[in-house]
Amino acid sequence: MAKKPYPLANVYGLLEPGPVVLVTTASSGRPNIMTMSWHTMIEFEPPLVGCIISNRNYSFGLLEATNECVINIPTVEIAEKVVACGNTSGANVDKFEKFGLTPMPAELVGAPLIKDCYANLECRVVDTGMVAKYGLFVVEVVKAWIDPAVKTPRTIHHLGSGNFMVAGETIKLKSAMK
Amino acid sequence: MAKKPYPLANVYGLLEPGPVVLVTTASSGRPNIMTMSWHTMIEFEPPLVGCIISNRNYSFGLLEATNECVINIPTVEIAEKVVACGNTSGANVDKFEKFGLTPMPAELVGAPLIKDCYANLECRVVDTGMVAKYGLFVVEVVKAWIDPAVKTPRTIHHLGSGNFMVAGETIKLKSAMK
């Protein structure tokens, strides 16, 4: 269950398939968790990710204040906790405690990793120019971790209104695409 | 097999799970197809989508010139054609003809729909402010179509290097999330 460092050049393959993720932030030692589905890779290396975060979220202020977060990728085993995090505001609740998730210290950022997720991406905000208009934070992944025991993660993908598609079979096609 | 109009308010649920899509463009009557995995919803309604398109793609110039495209969502049945589109440049090849895909006229834009895809989103570019820096086009979906016979589309999701996750089972969780 120990996480291992993961090459930054391979990070795109974790986010490109579009999983629901849990974004952690922390301010003054108090961590928060936000459920997020609106994200896209922007660059391979260093890996840049565009994250759409509404200013109605408690995490918006924490991210603006600290410029640091962790993108944690959960699997279906903790799907109910992922949804619970999305249904609750961190303004009043310690979601780690309430939903039984385990924080672990990150190496390069102040926000915690979520141990219960199979992959964790430590991120720094590098561009806030599109935050006012679209809530779009551009973050750079500066350190990545993965649980090497999880070979085919059953990630969850939001279809709207609490319906989720669970990652199915994997196929390999002859591709020149990165 | 006839497509039906799909409510714009529900479009997010088609793209939020992160499928590989085929972007069609057209200039001077000559259509092109590009395979794309780097996209995110930005707003629910009107639906705004952020699309990362490198200027190394032939479609980049067509999109810049016309400000119109169609986002077509394929399923695993045509996965080999999707990859073939990604491996080929439209500079020299008519991909519709070469890969046996069928164009259909759109209602509001000049780019064609791909009949072989279960959903088609007619789009207009509404913001090019981030194109120079990130290749990020913000497009608005102005008309959406869906094949009502496809209840659980087996979309494909790129894991990198030609490996694709195929959409698996669907689960429903009690969520207050839209």
B138 in contact with chain A, both atoms CB, cutoff 8 A? yes
Element (H, E) at B167: strand B163-172
Residue labelled with tokens 């096609």 = A173
Interface of B with A in 146-165 (CB under 8 A): 154-165
Residues B73-120: pLDDT tens digits? 999 999 999 999 999 998 889 999 999 999 999 999 999 999 999 999
CA distances from B173 to A26, A45, A84, B62 (A): 27, 35, 10, 42
Mean pLDDT of all residues in B29-53 = 96
Residues A53-109: pLDDT tens digits? 999 999 999 999 999 999 999 999 999 999 999 999 988 899 999 999 999 999 999
Residues B132-167: pLDDT tens digits? 999 999 999 999 999 999 999 999 999 999 999 999
Residues A82-94: pLDDT tens digits? 999 999 998 889 9
pTM: 0.97
B17 in contact with chain A, both atoms CB, cutoff 8 A? yes
Q: Please determine, for residue A1, whether its predicted confidence score (pLDDT) is greater than 60.
A: no
Residues A21-32: pLDDT tens digits? 999 999 887 899
Question: B161, A178: Cβ pair inside 8 Å?
Answer: yes
The whole-angstrom separation of Cα A35 and Cα B118 is: 28
Residue type for position A55: N
Interface of A with B in 66-105 (CB under 8 A): 76, 79-80, 83, 86-87
With pLDDT > 90 as the criterion, what percentage of chain B qualifies? 90
Q: Please determine, for residue B12, whether its predicted confidence score (pLDDT) is greater than 70.
A: yes
Are A44 and A132 a contacting pair, CB within 8 Å? no
Residue type for position B59: S
Give the chain A residue nearest B48 (alpha carbons). A134
Q: Please determine, for residue A175, whether its predicted confidence score (pLDDT) is greater than 90.
A: no
What phi and psi values does residue A86 have, to the nearest 5 degrees?
Answer: -75, -20
Q: Please determine, for residue B1, whether its predicted confidence score (pLDDT) is greater than 60.
A: no
Interface of B with A in 24-63 (CB under 8 A): 35, 37-43, 48, 50, 52
The whole-angstrom separation of Cα A59 and Cα A5 is: 26
As a dihedral over the C-alpha atoms of residue A109, residue A111, residue A114, residue A120, rounded to 10 degrees, the angle is -40
- Sequence-ordered list of residues with C-beta below 8 angstroms from that of B151, at least 6 positions apart, any chain: none
The whole-angstrom separation of Cα B121 and Cα B142 is: 8
A68-73 vs A119-130, strand pairing mode: antiparallel
Query: How much of chain A is in helix, strand and coil states, percent to nearest 5?
Result: 20, 40, 40
- Sequence-ordered list of residues with C-beta below 8 angstroms from that of A76, at least 6 positions apart, any chain: A154, A155, A156, A164, A166, A167, B171
Residues paired with B30 in a beta bridge? B27
Peptide bond into A17 cis (omega under 30): no
Joined tokens for residue A58? 């408690």
ipTM: 0.96
Q: Which of A8, A17, A164 is nearest to B37 (CA)?
A: A17
A13 in contact with chain B, both atoms CB, cutoff 8 A? yes
Question: A17, B158: Cβ pair inside 8 Å?
Answer: yes
Residues paired with B103 in a beta bridge? B114
What phi and psi values does residue B172 have, to the nearest 5 degrees?
Answer: -120, 125
